[in-house]
Amino acid sequence: MKQKFLPLLLFTTLLSVSCNTTNDIVDPPVSTEKLLLLGNVITMDTATPRAEAIVVENGLISFVGSQAEARKMCDAKTIVKDYGTASIYPGFTEGHTHGSLAASRFMQADLSELSDEVETVMADYVEAMKEYMQEHPGLSIYKGSGWLVKDKEPNAAMLDAICPDVPMVLNSEDGHSMWLNTAAMKHFGFDKEAVKIHGEDCIRVDSEGNPTGYISEKPAIDLLDKIAPDKKECKEGLLMWQEKAFSQGITAVTEAAVGLSNPLAEKVYQELCDEGVWKLRTYAVKIIDETVPDEKLDSALNRVLALRNKYNGEYYKITGTKVFMDGVIEAHTGWLEEEYSDDPGYYGLKRCPDPNRVARIVAFNNKNGMNVHFHSIGDAATNTAIKGIVQAQAETGIKDGRNAIAHLQIVKPEVFKKMADNNIIPIVAPLWLPKYPDEYPIFCRYIGDRADTEYPIKSFYDAGCLVNFHSDYPASNSFSMAQTIYIAITRTSKEYGPETLHNPAECITRQQALEAMTINVPYQWHEENRMGSITVGKLANFAIYDTDFTKAEPDAIWDAQVKATYVDGKVVYGK
């Protein structure tokens, strides 16, 4: 039941990395007081699955085992935190989030609650923005986010009715589309020339070829930078994001495209580290734009490498690149092998269709100790990404690049084994699984029967893949670790009822769900020896919940509450 105590010298050595912009080695600030935690300890360590007590020294775990043995190591100065019957887990980890996008959205009108309502129509979003304008008069631009396509596609005229003279820009819930009024189209240059550049897949047009005010993918994502908050608001928003993550017991995340919505985010993360207030370990990837021509690709990749060398600290580091293979089904931009059911002859948007280009990106990253993080929704997009990864592995001989593919909505059966055989990490989103009444009908309309087999998870496990979980927050407005587990094991939403059951053959076990949000994710970052389980010598990062996810009834899991979150042996949320 117990593990050996590590000498103090090893503690210091393991912590000798800092959040700074040089390679100087400075110990990060951690608690120097001895700490004893008591509770139902679920370690995620196969050698010692359960324990009663944890001893923490200098921000690291020094003992895991029985309460009696732990108390022998303590003295009158030891801080004792007794959590009774509450369960202590390793700090939860997130495989794919957008912290900088969250920071921006915290400063905008929030339309996401309307999206959750089945009866919402596009006019309801317009009314919500009208109220927002009344509450925030005099702004030079009105911004909001969180809408979904409901009864009709959005267009500029709907927003012009309430805001004819000031630009209004509304980001969709998934982050892949924008809804603009006429003033915004004029201000940001969305005209017929822009249509020629980006195509009608990305800029919708009317019968006369004029932009309608509904744009998607690259032009929409590029627009995020142009409407980004200033430095002060970016800092404020990122700290709000950190608090939200800690409130779920999350202690480390992938920032899946740093600077995606604000070019200041790279530096702001670093400044927060330098100020000693950033403790959410953040492993960021930088986008390689599909419009970068092949002859300039090496230069773009070298810029990412330079950023990796610059931002390589304890709490914030750049670990590789991000590649968009396609868009999303709900925007008609997911890249499919079979045509869209509602649009014969149309297969979606091919954002990175050349496997040779994928191979170049993967080979460069892996040879330089970085990985590639792919956005892939459709089966055609995923197959192309895999082909490129396999080609790069053959060229470089590197099999442990830890490249990952996120989302994986439509997957062909042969993909599971291919990903396992080539050590490609699937990053899946349990929170997206149920047949939500506001979204599932859209998928059925666009892709027909393929919607019935969306978002597999068990098949990846069965093939031998190392599965990671993600929420994609705030591109998905759901954000709950407890509900993530509930949905992964039931494939339903308690909120919307049993009729949301979706593809039940892909249910996984509780243990598998916990692995996908603890020990598995750090592997993506080459950090599995430092976090992800409650093991002697690892970082003292913990998520403490009032519920034992391994034993509780599913309804209790859904309603589980966080009692405290620890980073480096210090409470960062709760008590």
Mind listing the pLDDT tens digit for each residue in 349-358? 999 999 999 9
Q: How confident is residue 6, by pLDDT bands cut at 50, 70 and 90?
A: very low
Mean predicted confidence (pLDDT) in 184-205? 95
Q: Is 256 helix (H, G, I), strand (E, B) or coil?
A: strand
Average pLDDT value for residue range 380-385 = 98
Q: Quick one: CA torsion of 384, 411, 101, 221, rounded to 10 degrees?
A: 50
**Which of 433, 557, 535 is CA-nearest to residue 89?**
535
Average pLDDT of the residues in 305-333: 96
Degrees (nearest 5) of the Cα angle 195, 196, 201?
A: 55
Judge whether residue 448 has pLDDT over 50: yes
Q: How confident is the model at residue 116 (pLDDT cuts 50, 70, 90)?
A: confident
C-alpha 204 chain-centroid distance: 28
Which of 6-10, 248-252, 266-270 has the least mean pLDDT?
6-10
| CB distance 178 to 215 below 8 Å | yes
Taking the C-alpha atoms of residue 315 and residue 373, their distance in angstroms, rounded to an integer, is 19
**Which H/E stretch holds residue 133?**
helix 122-135
Closest residue by Cα to residue 245 from 479, 524, 560, 566: 479
- Inter-residue contact 181 to 192 (CB < 8 Å): no
What values do phi and psi take at 342, rounded to 5? -95, 0
Euclidean distance between CA atoms 342 and 361, whole angstroms: 34
**Confidence band (pLDDT; 50, 70, 90) for 301?**
very high
The whole-number average pLDDT for the span 367-377 is 98
The yes-or-no verdict on residue 55 having pLDDT over 50 is yes
Burial degree of 555 (CB within 10 A; 0-12, 13-18, 19+): exposed
Secondary structure (3-state) at 47: coil
Q: How remote is the C-alpha of 93 from its chain's centroid?
A: 10
Q: What is the pLDDT of residue 19?
A: 36
Return d(Cα 465, Cα 372) in angstroms, integer. 17
Q: Which residue has 């620890």 as its token pair?
A: 566
Q: Is the pLDDT of residue 5 over 70?
A: no
Which residues make Cβ contacts (< 8 Å) with residue 181, sequence separation at least 6?
156, 159, 160, 163, 164, 167, 168, 213
pLDDT at 30 (0 to 100): 57
- Tell me the mean pLDDT in the region 377-395: 98
Q: Which residues pair with 284 in a beta bridge?
A: 255, 318
pLDDT at residue number 574: 98
Could you list the beta-strand ranges (E) of 418-569: 425-428, 468-469, 542-545, 562-567
Could you tell me which residues are beta bridge partners of residue 283? 254, 317
Helices (H), 199-249: 218-226, 231-246
Three-class secondary structure of residue 371 per DSSP: strand
Domains and CATH numbers, the chain: 8-91+537-574 (2.30.40.10), 108-226 (3.10.310.70), 288-517 (3.20.20.140)
Q: String of b and e for 342-377 (b: at least 16 CB within 10 Å)? A: eeeeebbbbbbeebebbbbbbbbbbeeebbbbbbbb
pLDDT of residue 475: 86
**Average per-residue pLDDT for the chain:** 93
Residues 475-527: tens digit of each pLDDT:
887 899 999 999 999 999 999 999 999 999 999 999 999 999 999 999 999 99
pLDDT at 31: 57
How confident is the model at residue 438, as a pLDDT? Answer: 83
Q: How many CA atoms lie within 13 A of 265 on its CB side?
A: 31
Helix (H) / strand (E) element for 485: namely helix 481-490
Q: How many CA atoms lie within 13 A of 59 on its CB side?
A: 19
The residue assigned the tokens 């927060």 is 272
Q: How open is the CA angle 238-243-248, to the nearest 5 degrees?
A: 130
Q: Helices 297-310 & 355-367, crossing angle to 10 degrees?
A: 30
Residues of the chain with pLDDT > 70, as a percent, come to 94
In this structure, what token pair is assigned to residue 365? 């990253």
Distance CA 342, CA 506 (A): 27
pLDDT of residue 476: 83
**Banded model confidence at residue 74, pLDDT cuts 50, 70, 90:** very high
**Strand boundaries in 358-498, DSSP class E:** 371-376, 404-407, 425-428, 468-469
How far is C-alpha 560 from the geometric centre of its chain's CA atoms? 21
CA distance 251 to 534: 13
Sign of the dihedral through C-alpha 486, 487, 492, 497 = positive
CA-nearest of 218, 235, 224, 222 to 145 is: 224
pLDDT surpasses 80 at 18: no
Which tokens is 105 given?
A: 């959205």
Query: In whole angstroms, what is the distance from residue 93 CA to residue 419 CA?
Result: 22
Query: Predicted confidence band at 57 (pLDDT cuts at 50, 70, 90)?
Result: very high
Q: Give the pLDDT confidence score for residue 532 in this predicted structure.
A: 98
Tell me the average pLDDT across 291-303.
95
Contact 321, 373 (CB under 8 A): yes
On the CB side of 65, CA atoms within 13 Å amount to 14
pLDDT exceeds 50 at position 17 = no
Instruction: Name the packing angle between helices 231-246 and 265-274 (round to 10°).
Output: 70
- Cβ-contact 348, 336 below 8 angstroms: yes
Residue bearing the bigger pLDDT, 116 or 538: 538
For 429-476, the three-class secondary structure string (H helix, E strand, C coil) is CHHHCCCCCCCHHHHHHHHHHHHHHCCCCHHHHHHCCCCEECCCCCCC
- pLDDT category at 2 given cuts 50, 70, 90 is very low
What average pLDDT does the segment 385-392 reach? 98
Hey, is 377 helix, strand or coil? coil
Amino acid at 148: L
Structure tokens at 29: 């600030």
Query: What is the pLDDT, as a whole number, of residue 20?
Result: 35
Torsion, Cα 181 183 189 192, to 10 degrees, reads: 60
pLDDT in tens, 242-267: 999 999 999 999 999 998 888 999 99
| Whole-angstrom Cα Rg for the chain | 24
Read off the tokens for 253. 């995340």
Is it the case that residue 377 has pLDDT exceeding 90? yes
Is 49's pLDDT higher than 50? yes
E strands, 181-229, are: 203-205, 211-216
Position 272 pLDDT exceeds 70: yes
